[in-house]
C-alpha cells in the first residue's frame, strides 16, 4: 500500500489495478488469462495465415474476416503487456506516455471491431439480397477502400479524445481501476472542467457504438425479408447458415458491451470486482471467440486449417 501511495504522487506514472480482493492469487489467475491470450493470438494468426495461403479465399467475405482477425489481434496485444506484467510481476506502474498509447490503441481497435462487423453485415446483405451483382459491387478494390475508410474513421474518432484528455491536469490520485488504460477510467482522475471531453465522448459513442448495431440490425431485417421470399426451405436454411457466424460474432461483441454499459449505469455501487470482470469479458470475449466461431461454422476456413496442418506435418517429416 505504501508503494501505491508513493507512486500516485509521481506525475509520470499511472497505477494499474489487478483483480480487487484477489491480489494474493494473481499468479494463479494469470494461468487462465495467459491461456485466453494464447488462444486469441494463435486463433487469429491461424485465420490470417489460412486466408493468405489459400487462393480460393481471396474473396470479399474472407477479406473482411481477415480485417476482423487483425482487429482482434490488435485488441489482444493492446492489453496483454500491462495485464500480464501486473499478474506475473505485480508491476502496477505505467508511464503517462504508455498509458495514452494504450488508451489510443485500445479504443481504436474496439471501434474498429464494430466497424468491421458493420462492413461484414453489408457483405452478407449484398450476397443474399443482390447475389447477381455481388461480384460487381464488392470487388477487391472496393473492399480495400472500405478497410481504409474503417481505419481512418476509428483513428480520427479516437485522436481528438486523446488530445483533449492529454491537455488536462491529473492532480488527483493516479490509481486506475483496471489493469489497462480506458478513457472513462482516466478522465475521472482529472481535476478540471471535462464537459468538452464528455460531450465529445458521447458523440463518438453515439456515432459508432450507437449507429453501427442499428445498421447491422437493419441489414438483417432486409436479409430476413429476402430469405422469407425464397422458394424453398433448403435455400432459406443455406442463407441463414451463411449469416450464422457473423450473427454470433455480433452477439459476442455487443452483449458484453451492453452488460458493461448497464453495470456502469445502474450498478455504480457494485463491488469493484464486478466492474473488472465485466470489462475483461468485453475486451477478451471477441478476440478469443471469433476465431473459434469462424473455424467451427465456416467450412472453407475449417478446410483451410486442416490443409495448413497437413502441409506443416509433411514438412516436419
Helix (H) or strand (E) holding 245: helix 233-266
Rounded to 5 degrees, what are φ and ψ at 179?
Answer: -95, 20
Residue 11 lies in a domain: no
- What confidence score (pLDDT) does residue 37 get? 96
Residue 14 lies in a domain: no
Residue 315 lies in a domain: no
Question: Which CATH number is 134's domain given?
Answer: 1.20.1070.10
- Measured between alpha carbons, how far is residue 223 from residues 196, 218, 228 in Å? 40, 9, 9
Residue 16 lies in a domain: no
- What confidence score (pLDDT) does residue 316 get? 67
Residue 166 lies in a domain: yes
Place of cell 501505491: 4
- Measured between alpha carbons, how far is residue 111 from residues 115, 138, 169, 290 in Å? 6, 23, 26, 16
Domain that residue 101 falls in: 21-305
Question: In the 8-state DSSP scheme, what is residue 187?
Answer: G
Q: Dihedral sign for Cα 308, 238, 64, 296, please.
A: negative
Residue 1 lies in a domain: no
Residue 5 lies in a domain: no
Half-sphere exposure of 90 (CA within 13 A, CB side): 11
Query: Mean pLDDT in runs of 10 for the chain (317 residues)?
Result: 40 84 90 95 95 89 95 96 93 92 95 96 92 91 96 95 90 85 88 91 89 95 86 77 89 89 74 86 93 90 87 72
- What confidence score (pLDDT) does residue 6 get? 39
Residue 204 lies in a domain: yes
Is pTM beyond 0.85? Reply is yes
CA–CA separation, 272 and 280 (whole Å)? 12
Q: What residue ranges in 92-193 does DSSP mark as E strands?
A: 93-95
Place of cell 471477441: 286
Q: How many domains does the chain have?
A: 1
- What confidence score (pLDDT) does residue 7 get? 37
Amino acid at each position: 500500500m505504501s508503494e501505491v501511495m508513493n507512486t500516485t504522487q509521481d506525475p509520470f506514472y499511472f497505477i494499474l489495478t489487478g483483480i480487487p480482493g484477489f491480489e494474493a492469487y494473481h499468479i494463479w489467475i494469470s494461468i487462465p488469462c495467459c491461456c485466453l491470450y494464447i488462444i486469441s493470438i494463435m486463433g487469429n494468426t491461424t485465420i490470417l495465415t489460412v486466408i493468405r495461403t489459400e487462393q480460393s479465399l481471396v474473396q470479399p467475405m474472407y477479406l473482411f474476416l481477415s480485417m476482423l482477425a487483425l482487429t482482434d489481434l490488435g485488441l489482444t496485444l493492446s492489453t496483454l503487456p500491462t495485464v500480464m506484467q501486473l499478474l506475473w510481476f505485480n508491476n502496477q506502474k505505467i508511464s503517462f506516455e504508455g498509458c495514452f498509447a494504450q488508451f489510443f490503441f485500445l479504443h481504436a481497435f474496439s471501434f474498429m471491431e464494430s466497424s468491421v462487423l458493420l462492413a461484414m453485415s453489408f457483405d452478407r446483405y449484398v450476397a443474399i439480397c443482390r447475389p447477381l451483382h455481388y461480384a460487381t459491387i464488392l470487388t477487391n478494390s472496393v473492399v480495400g477502400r472500405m478497410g481504409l475508410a474503417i481505419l481512418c474513421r476509428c483513428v480520427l474518432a479516437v485522436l481528438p479524445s486523446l488530445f483533449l484528455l492529454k491537455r488536462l491536469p491529473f492532480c488527483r490520485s493516479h490509481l486506475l481501476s483496471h489493469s489497462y488504460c480506458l478513457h472513462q477510467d482516466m478522465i475521472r482522475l482529472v481535476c478540471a472542467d471535462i464537459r468538452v471531453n464528455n460531450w465529445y465522448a458521447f458523440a463518438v459513442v453515439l456515432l459508432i457504438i450507437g449507429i453501427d448495431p442499428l445498421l447491422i440490425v437493419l441489414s438483417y431485417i432486409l436479409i430476413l425479408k429476402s430469405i422469407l421470399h425464397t422458394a424453398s426451405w433448403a435455400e432459406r436454411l443455406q442463407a441463414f447458415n451463411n449469416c450464422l457466424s457473423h450473427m454470433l460474432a455480433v452477439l459476442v461483441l455487443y452483449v458484453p458491451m451492453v452488460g458493461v454499459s448497464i453495470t456502469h449505469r445502474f450498478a455504480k455501487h457494485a463491488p469493484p470486482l464486478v466492474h473488472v470482470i465485466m470489462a475483461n469479458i468485453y475486451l477478451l470475449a471477441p478476440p478469443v471467440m471469433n476465431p473459434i466461431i469462424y473455424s467451427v461454422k465456416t467450412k472453407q476456413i475449417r478446410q483451410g486449417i486442416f490443409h495448413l496442418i497437413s502441409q506443416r506435418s509433411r514438412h516436419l517429416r
